[in-house]
């Protein structure tokens, strides 16, 4: 009987020790690593090409203009921010000397016309005299030499009349030259728009920019009724960009608001900038011009050119990809992760099309960059994910 009791005591002691050991092992065993997971579903995937550096909102018509000749500002008809119509004078230089030259040239035209009238009247009189002498010669009442002199004089006077008419044309051309010189002192708006910048005041001297030397324009005129976005695209992506492709434009000043647009121009050359990638500039015009209200030339912008679209396809979040073609598949809490290679199609920064390797309903790990996350690691899904 005593031996039986001893046997049971040993058994109970062993069982107690095993229980304590099991509890200790459970306490020492690390908790499964928590990961963020995503269930594979169908949806749309849009492949895009984005700009490499910030693009810029630009006006379809913008002119940084200065008078074609230097001089002192005598009249200034606009201020910064003014709206102007096409053909409106903006600025006038001192031009009294040129105005006087125009007046002189016009007076010379009047004098040339008076001289022409005199010469032509004399020519007509000599022509009548030549005809009269010719008729008298036919009747034997005029000598031949007198007739010859009359005819020659008439021809000479006729030539003088024609020369005087040419002189009128020359004088009128001088008026045009003088008026052209005078016109160079007046700066005219080439199109309707707003004065964005004015770098002149009455009494100041302005000069045109010498060749190869950039100077501030006298007036910066912008037509903000028509805007587009110019942005650089990496040379590697440029072959996929085609005219008329749809574009989504986003501006830093307006958050996540998107503006639909179309590619209207692709530069026919590659832009090479020091210490930066070679790029091709593309231009996109807004689909709905009425949505341009509130946009200003010079705003920074990003463009996403839609080069391909796939609807109702399996898709995986781009952040779940490892090396571009592998994912970590999650089955259930407490199970190790399994690395799987998949075949992908079109994609963007958000989703990538799954052509093969995954089925709808399977779950993949999103937090692949988290420390310790790798194939074979026991994990559990974060709650609420």
Return the HEC string of the chain.
CHHHHHHHHHHHHHHHHHHHHHHHHHHHCCCCEEECEEECEEEEEEEEEEECCCEEEEEEEEEEECCCCCEEEEEECCCCCCEECCCCEEEEECCHHHHHHHHHHHHHHHHHHHHHHHHHHHHHHHHHHHHHHHHHHHCCCCCHHHHHHHHHHHHHHHHHHHHHHHHHHHHHHHHHHHHHHHHCCEEECCCCEEEEEECCCCCCEECCCCCCCCCCCCEEEEEEEEEEEEEEEECCCHHHCCCCCEEEEEEHHHCCCEEEEEEEEECCCCECCCCCCCEEEEEEEECCHHHHCCCCCCCEEEEEEEEEEEEEEEEEEHHHCECCCEEEEECCCCEECEEEECEEEEECCCEEEEEECCCCCCEEECCCCCCCCCCCCEEEECCCC
Per-residue pLDDT of the chain (385 residues; tens, 9 = 90+): 555 555 656 666 667 666 665 554 454 455 678 888 999 999 999 888 888 888 999 999 999 999 988 899 999 999 999 999 999 999 999 999 999 999 999 999 999 999 999 999 998 998 998 898 888 888 887 788 887 888 888 899 889 999 999 999 999 999 999 999 999 999 999 999 999 999 999 999 998 776 666 778 899 999 988 899 999 999 888 899 999 999 999 998 888 888 999 999 999 988 876 566 789 999 999 988 877 777 888 899 999 999 988 999 999 999 999 988 899 999 887 888 899 999 999 888 889 999 999 999 999 999 888 888 888 888 888 876 4
Q: Over the stretch 216-240, which tens digit does the pLDDT of each residue have?
A: 889 999 998 889 999 999 988 889 9
Q: How far apart are CA 141 and CA 25, in angstroms?
A: 156
Instruction: Give yes or no for a contact between 42 and 314, defined as CB atoms under 8 angstroms apart.
Output: yes
pTM: 0.65
Q: Percent of the chain at pLDDT above 70? A: 89
Q: Over the stretch 313-364, which tens digit does the pLDDT of each residue have?
A: 999 999 999 988 899 999 887 888 899 999 999 888 889 999 999 999 999 9
Residues 6+ apart with CB under 8 A from 49: 233, 237, 240, 241, 304, 305, 307
Of residues 344, 310, 309, 312, the one with CA closest to residue 327: 344
CA distances, 13 to each of 128, 153, 274 (Å): 158, 157, 80
Give the tokens for residue 326: 């592998």
Of residues 81, 69, 268, the one with CA closest to residue 184: 69
Adjacent-strand bridge partners of 229: 57, 284
Q: How far apart are CA 45 and CA 314, in angstroms?
A: 9
For the chain, the distance separating the N- and C-terminal CA atoms, rounded to the nearest angstrom, is: 62
Give the tokens for residue 196: 């964005």
- Look at the block and give the residue holding tokens 């065993």: 29
CA distances, 187 to each of 64, 71, 209 (Å): 12, 12, 15
Burial grade of 74 (CB within 10 A; 0-12, 13-18, 19 or more):
middle
């Amino acid at each position: 009987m005593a031996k039986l009791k001893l046997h049971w005591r040993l058994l109970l002691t062993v069982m107690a020790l095993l229980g304590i050991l099991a509890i200790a092992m459970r306490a020492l065993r690390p908790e499964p690593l928590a990961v963020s997971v995503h269930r594979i579903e169908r949806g749309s995937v849009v492949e895009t090409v984005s700009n490499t550096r910030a693009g810029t909102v630009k006006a379809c018509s913008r002119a940084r203009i200065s008078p074609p000749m230097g001089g002192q500002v005598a009249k200034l008809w606009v201020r910064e921010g003014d709206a102007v119509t096409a053909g409106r004078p903006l600025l006038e230089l001192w031009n009294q000397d040129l105005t006087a030259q125009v007046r002189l040239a016009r007076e010379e035209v009047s004098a040339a016309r008076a001289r022409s009238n005199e010469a032509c009247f004399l020519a007509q009189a000599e022509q009548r005299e030549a005809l009269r002498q010719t008729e008298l010669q036919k009747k034997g009442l005029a000598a031949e030499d007198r007739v010859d002199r009359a005819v020659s004089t008439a021809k000479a006077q006729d030539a003088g009349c024609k020369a005087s008419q040419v002189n009128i044309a020359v004088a009128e051309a001088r008026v045009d030259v003088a008026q052209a010189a005078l016109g160079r002192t007046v700066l005219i708006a080439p199109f309707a728009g707003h004065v964005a910048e004015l770098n002149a005041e009455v009494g100041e001297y302005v000069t045109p920019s010498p060749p190869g030397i950039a100077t501030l324009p006298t007036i910066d005129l912008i037509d903000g009724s028509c805007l587009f976005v110019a942005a650089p695209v990496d040379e590697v992506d440029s072959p996929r960009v085609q005219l008329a492709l749809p574009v989504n434009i986003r501006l830093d000043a307006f958050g996540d608001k998107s503006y639909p647009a179309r590619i209207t121009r692709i530069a026919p050359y590659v832009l090479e900038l020091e210490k930066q990638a070679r790029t091709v500039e593309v231009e996109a015009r807004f689909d709905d011009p009425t949505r341009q209200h509130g946009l200003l030339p010079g705003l920074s912008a990003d463009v996403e050119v839609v080069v391909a679209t796939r609807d109702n396809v399996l898709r995986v979040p781009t952040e779940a990809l490892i090396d571009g073609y592998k994912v970590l598949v999650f089955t259930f809490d407490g199970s190790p992760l399994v690395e799987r290679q998949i075949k992908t199609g079109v994609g963007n920064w958000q989703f990538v099309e799954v052509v093969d390797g995954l089925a709808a309903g399977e779950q993949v790990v999103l937090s692949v960059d988290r420390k310790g996350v790798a194939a074979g690691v026991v994990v559990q899904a974060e709650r609420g994910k």
